[in-house]
Structure 1
């Protein structure tokens, strides 16, 4: 269910959001990151992902988010649950006067051989494959993303 801005702002101010993050690995064991266009974590390199909608099953959310974020739908059964995380931000999509709290269900998705992604530049301005050592060493990669790899 898509919410109007006023309703969503009230929810962000009052409750945690539940989301799925996608730790996407290619055949070279590199991780796909996008440079975020929007708050929170604006400007940082971050894994693809997004919110789960009300009345949306995890399977449906996973399929929708992989299609929207990666340009190709994948089934949740093809991924492995990494863990559940909490993300706290001092800002939100509405600016720097409202904080955001996410409960994140993180999945690792290993791409099949020959799979080429063409993610849209909607949430992220550009994308890049990162080696794990480079990802962990870069201050441009958000701390929440580095926590998935550490």
Structure 2
């Protein structure tokens, strides 16, 4: 694992490759209230960075297990590539740039006991509700604009 000192240098000078899982069940979207920067205190999708020498498939599986507590084996629908820019990064005074790959995870059953390391609480949102909410981060709303789901664009 990379040390915090080296990771800070990477964040300062390079974009990070990341994956977000847009998790849905029965037409509702699971979002968690973030406990860490960036986007602290906003409802956001689960996700994380892709590690060096880790395939996207393995990263999706690791993120689903770590953040949702589930094993995934199905192919996830690719939503698109998004750029996320944050001034409130994990390191004081260092902005963060993510090259984010969005994937749709459509569940067959509703999740109940979800890990709370990255999110303090979880909520299932109707799409129109999340698009109108000030508690949901704009970058999450962008996924649904890309998918052209929900309110009139």
Q: Distance in 1 between matches of 2:86 and 2:34?
A: 14
Q: Which residue of 2 aligns with 1:109?
A: 105
> Is 1:86–2:92 an aligned residue pair?
no
The two structures have a TM-score, normalised by structure 1, of: 0.93
Shift of 1:105: 0.5
Q: Distance in 1 between matches of 2:50 and 2:140?
A: 19
Shift of 1:115: 4.8
Which of 128, 133, 140 is the matching residue for 2:135? Answer: 140
Q: Which residue of 2 aligns with 1:124?
A: 119
**SS of the residue 1:78 aligns to:** coil
Q: Which residue of 2 aligns with 1:73?
A: 71
Q: State the superposition RMSD in angstroms.
A: 1.1
Does the 8 A contact of 1:70 with 1:117 survive in 2? no
> How many positions carry a matched residue from both structures?
145
Q: Distance in 2 between matches of 1:4 and 1:88?
A: 23
Q: Which residue of 1 aligns with 2:151?
A: none
5+ residue gaps in structure 1? Answer: none
Deviations 1:43-100 (A, max 9, x none): 100000000000000111010000001011213x4310000000000121113x1100
Deviations 1:81-138 (A, max 9, x none): 000000000121113x1100000010001001x3534221001101110000110000
5+ residue gaps in structure 2? Answer: 146-153
Shift of 1:139: 0.9
Which of 21, 29, 38 is the matching residue for 1:40? Answer: 38
Q: Distance in 2 between matches of 1:49 and 1:85?
A: 13
